[in-house]
Amino acid sequence: MLKDRTAIVGIGETDFAKRLHDTEWGLACAAIKAALDDAGIAPSMVDAMGCFTQETTPEFEIARSLGFGDVHFFSQTAHGGGAACGVVGQVALAVASGVANVGVVWRSRKRGDPGKRQWAGVQERVTDHWKWSRCQGLLRPVDEIAITARRYMHDFQVTREQLAEVALTQRAYAANNPKAIMRDKPMALDDYMTARMISDPLCLFDNCLESDGAIAMVIVRAEDVNTATQQPVYIHAFSQGLSPQHQLMTDYHGDDPLRSSSYTTAANLWRQSDIQAQDIDVAQFYDAFSPMVLYCLEAYGFCGRGEAASFIANGGMSVTGELPVNTSGGSLSEVYLHGMNLLSEAVRQLRGSADNQVAGARSALVTTCDSTPNGALVLRGA
């Protein structure tokens, strides 16, 4: 089993902003170097690499920029929001099995420019599965999630006031995070309720930020951790998930479209984990859109189906709540980097160095996009 055999020993982040001057290539190099410095490991020691299929800079450009030596493993995990935990998990598997010794994973992205939004690049003719939705008017990811969100809110009588709790809580977290893009933009319920709709029933504040930045991490075998110089966070359990009849983003064709790939991931994750949902101290739920936080609370077993809105009412996801969630401000209020910021925040929480530190946090759950093929990790502090 993979359980506790590898550890994250370095995290590195660039600045986060609506617009950074450096290229995605340059930002990736800076984040990876920062992560290696944090781990105290020389670039020449790296021999495993993992990134997203949506990463624009190929692994060889990264390797020869940073001065890696002989590299023995490189992989890409499919898609965007669903990939982050898969990237870490796959490199961890390679390192645990002895194929390689020192792994780096990264995501670098410049999305602040409106022209970089994927929907803006839709072509005259659609040839893939999006021919069944984009041409019909579900153009953007927010439109795709508005479909499930409306049905979820209808089936479980969830109001916009209740959904607002996700955006409001994460904005409050961002206020204490000097790196959060929205740190100086407090939000009240009235701001949320009067915000413009982007795809009814989802308003502006139900959407993640469009931003620039890069994040990287370093993974080694547990027996190679130097506890004198490194602060390891152990990879306790990992799974990816692809549910029957799943379709990327427009996941509408299974028996129950509200039962996503997160349910597949969760079952296999908890099967491998000594730490169960009730033991988790802090969670980082992928939040490109606020309803995904509610979906994850239910799929990963923190509450029953349709009960997530009640769970987060009155501060359930706040730092003193039943389960602190997205404590850096997350994709809604810190930065949108396809969930890599959720992973680095989980590591900080388990090191005890987070801006919104959960007292005594020893275990963390990190998930990825509910509506794509996805993955999740259970992380354990030293």
Partner 1 sequence: MIENIPLPATDDPVDATFWAGTRCGELRIQTCQQCDQMRFPPRPMCPSCQSQESYWQPVSGRGRVWSFAVPSSPLLPAFEKLTPYVVALVELEESPTLRLIGPVLHSVGGEVSGVEAKDVRIGAEVTVDFKRYSDDVAMPCWVLGK
The residues of the shown chain that bind partner 1, judged by CB under 8 A, are: 114, 119-127, 129, 131-140, 142-144, 146-148, 150-151, 154, 196-200, 245, 247, 250, 252-255, 257
- Nearest-approach distance from CB 62 to partner 1, in angstroms: 31
Cβ closest to partner 1, residue 177 vs residue 290: 290
From the list 207, 221, 195, 283, the residue with the least C-alpha distance to 91 is 221
Query: Which residues are part of the catalytic machinery?
Result: 286, 336
From the list 319, 248, 348, 361, the residue with the least C-alpha distance to 8 is 348
- Nearest-approach distance from CB 359 to partner 1, in angstroms: 41
Distance CA 252, CA 376 (A): 22
Cis peptide leading into residue 201 (ω within 30°): yes
Cβ closest to partner 1, residue 120 vs residue 188: 120
The residue assigned the tokens 């839709």 is: 122
Cβ closest to partner 1, residue 42 vs residue 126: 126
Cβ closest to partner 1, residue 19 vs residue 129: 129
Cβ closest to partner 1, residue 25 vs residue 132: 132
- Nearest-approach distance from CB 322 to partner 1, in angstroms: 29
237, 272 Cβ separation under 8 angstroms: yes
From the list 360, 369, 356, 288, the residue with the least C-alpha distance to 325 is 356
Distance CA 249, CA 110 (A): 21
Distance CA 159, CA 335 (A): 26
- CA angle, 329 as apex, 49 and 364 as ends, to 5°? 60
- Nearest-approach distance from CB 184 to partner 1, in angstroms: 24
- Nearest-approach distance from CB 116 to partner 1, in angstroms: 12
Q: Which residues contact 373 (CB under 8 A, 6 or more apart)?
A: 78, 79, 82, 240, 241, 242, 246, 248, 261
